[in-house]
Amino acid sequence: MLPLSRGVIIINTQFKKGVLELLVMLIVENEDRYGYELVEEVSKIVDVNEGTIYPILKRLTNENYFETYLKESTEGPPRKYYHLTILGKERKEKLLNEWTKFNQSVSKFLKERERNE
């Protein structure tokens, strides 16, 4: 079990839905990553469980957004690396756009509401 990163927020599970998938793809986009590493990276942003990230990786691989390959490690069992496919990049782009729009829309409402207080 990974220890909880300090300063990381524990929030409503529901808020994470869909966003974790996007975060994982954005992290893998820059360079290939293995699962355990991804759990650590995402944990720096949002409090998250191992048992949450691995299923996401499996799902995105099944849907051909990721390709995988194994590499031996000196620090434990072999690591499964994830690589973002062309299809994955499209998916990432789409999700990022949708998240941005959604977020802007909600933020705009929150700001207008603040003004009326």
Residues that bind DNA in the complex, under the rule CB under 7 A = 1-2, 12-14, 16-21, 34-37, 47-52, 54-59, 73-81
CB 53 within 8 A of CB 42: yes
Compare residues 71 and 108 and give the one whose CB is closer to a second copy. Answer: 108
Look at residue 65 and give its three-state secondary structure: coil
Compare residues 59 and 71 and give the one whose CB is closer to a second copy. Answer: 59
User: Should residue 17 be labelled a site residue for a second copy when binding is judged by CB under 8 A?
Assistant: yes
Q: What does the angle CA 13 – CA 16 – CA 21 come to, to the nearest 5 degrees?
A: 135
Compute the distance between CA of residue 31 and CA of residue 106 in angstroms, rounded to an integer.
Answer: 32
Compute the distance between CA of residue 50 and CA of residue 53 in angstroms, rounded to an integer.
Answer: 5
The least CB distance from residue 64 to a second copy, in Å, is 18
Query: Binder to a second copy among 19, 49, 54, 61 (CB under 8 A)?
Result: 19
Determine phi and psi for 86, rounding to 5 degrees: -60, -45
Binding residues (CB under 8 A) for a second copy: these are: 9, 11-19, 21, 23, 26, 30, 45-46, 95, 98-99, 101-103, 105-107, 109-110, 113, 116
